[in-house]
């Protein structure tokens, strides 16, 4: 038997005749027994007293297996959240959770679909979340032209289903909606930036669907007094980005060319410009947005615009290659209606929260190049 176990069997009686074992008395009435036992023993008893952890926050992430969902899950686990996530069934089960396999044992994963309200109600009833991060969607802009109905269903019907389910099951939960810079289209303020007040004129089915969902969130927020905040995130990348998105496509293909596994890189419009930030930085912004006292909408961006051709030049130069020898363009990768330039102003987010981006464009791309250099084996 341990020493402190023996001590805990010693009984002490208060002036009122109440009896406690010594360890319990040390916790409850230290002033009574201060003169009764040695201070050193008292301190040991205090340290051996059970520690009751503060109540864990519960978060639900729809689309947890995506780029943003995986990084957000890591962040919330670091902050001692109980993390739940929805998975959309894939015929290749390994692909469903490849980005979160390293933390899978720490997560509560459930099958659900944004177009199936019953599945959302089931998951919400199970986890009763404090925070809901809606990241699930068909998120590829080019593909939205090929699958406009599916894209719209996942985004628009998806958010209606989620809002109604939350209103029914856990109306006090805080909701983060992943809005998008694609909602702005080619609308730009006179100073060359897009911000929360910039008019929105989307130029793709994806952008239109995101704007509809964005407005629905604002309407539910005002109509039902729900805590719903929208993050208008500009393009954000990482090694976990799908390789059919231009940043990772360029990095992966350039590394393959360097290793002799490919001969060319075929792209669409080289002269469109994007404000590219790090997905690791942007999931911190998502969390910060839901910690505010009142719900609101925030632009999240770096404030630096970069043309695709500069991205290409930087990656190939980093690998010691002449990009002009390997890069071609093909009309099939051009959008029917092009979004020419995106550059966001995050002043409101920076002023209202503690968020500050850590990655530069170059650091982010270097990390993506390094990932493919290690991943691709000749």
Q: Please, are residues 136 and 162 in contact by the beta-carbon 8 Å criterion?
A: no
CA distance 136 to 96: 13
Dihedrals φ, ψ of 11, to 5°? Answer: -95, 150
Let me know if 180 is a catalytic residue. yes
CA distance 71 to 15: 57
Q: What are the C-alpha distances in Å from 19 to residues 9, 25, 233, 344?
A: 12, 9, 61, 67
CA distance 162 to 86: 12
- Marked catalytic residue, from 74, 82, 182, 253: 182
- Marked catalytic residue, from 81, 176, 193, 206: 206
CA distance 211 to 228: 15
Let me know if 206 is a catalytic residue. yes
Let me know if 172 is a catalytic residue. no
Residue 141 makes CB contacts below 8 A (sequence gap 6+) with 182, 204, 206, 207, 335, 339
Facing residues of 233 across strands? 180, 300
Q: What are the C-alpha distances in Å from 121 to residues 22, 63, 158, 220, 226?
A: 49, 16, 12, 18, 17
- Marked catalytic residue, from 70, 180, 229, 346: 180
**Helical ranges in 113-271 per DSSP H:** 117-127, 141-146, 148-152, 158-169, 205-224, 246-258
Positions marked catalytic: 180, 182, 206
């Amino acid at each position: 038997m341990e020493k402190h176990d023996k001590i805990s069997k010693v009984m002490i009686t208060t002036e009122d005749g109440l009896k406690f074992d010594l360890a319990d008395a040390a916790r409850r009435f230290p002033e009574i027994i201060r003169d009764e036992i040695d201070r050193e023993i008292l301190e040991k008893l205090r340290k051996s007293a059970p520690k009751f952890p503060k109540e864990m926050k519960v978060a639900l992430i729809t689309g947890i297996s995506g780029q943003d969902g995986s990084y957000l899950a890591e962040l919330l686990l670091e902050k001692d959240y109980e993390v739940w996530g929805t998975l959309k069934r894939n015929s290749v089960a390994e692909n469903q959770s490849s980005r979160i396999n390293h933390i899978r044992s720490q997560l509560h994963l459930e099958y659900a679909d944004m177009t199936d309200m019953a599945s959302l109600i089931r998951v919400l009833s199970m986890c009763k979340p404090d925070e809901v991060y809606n990241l699930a969607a068909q998120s590829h802009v080019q593909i939205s032209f090929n699958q406009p109905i599916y894209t719209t269903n996942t985004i628009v019907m998806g958010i209606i289903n989620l809002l109604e389910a939350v209103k029914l099951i856990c109306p006090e939960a805080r909701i983060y909606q992943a809005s998008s810079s694609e909602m702005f289209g080619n609308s730009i303020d006179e100073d060359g930036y897009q911000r929360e007040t910039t008019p929105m004129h989307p130029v793709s089915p994806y952008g239109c669907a995101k704007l509809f969902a964005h407005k629905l969130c604002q309407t539910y927020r005002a109509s039902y007094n729900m805590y719903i905040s929208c993050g208008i995130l500009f393009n954000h990348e990482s090694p976990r980005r799908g390789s059919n998105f231009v940043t990772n496509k360029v990095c992966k293909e350039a590394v393959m060319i360097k290793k002799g596994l490919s001969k060319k890189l075929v792209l669409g419009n080289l002269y469109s410009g994007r404000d590219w930030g790090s997905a690791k930085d942007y999931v911190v912004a998502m969390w910060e947005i839901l910690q505010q006292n009142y719900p609101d909408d925030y632009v999240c961006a770096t404030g630096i615009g970069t043309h695709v051709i500069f991205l290409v030049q930087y990656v190939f130069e980093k690998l010691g290659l002449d990009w002009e020898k390997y890069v071609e363009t093909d009309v099939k990768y051009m959008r029917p209606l092009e979004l020419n330039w995106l550059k966001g102003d995050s002043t409101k987010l920076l002023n209202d929260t503690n968020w500050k981006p850590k990655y530069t464009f170059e650091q982010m791309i270097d990390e993506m190049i390094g990932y493919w250099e290690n991943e691709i084996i000749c």
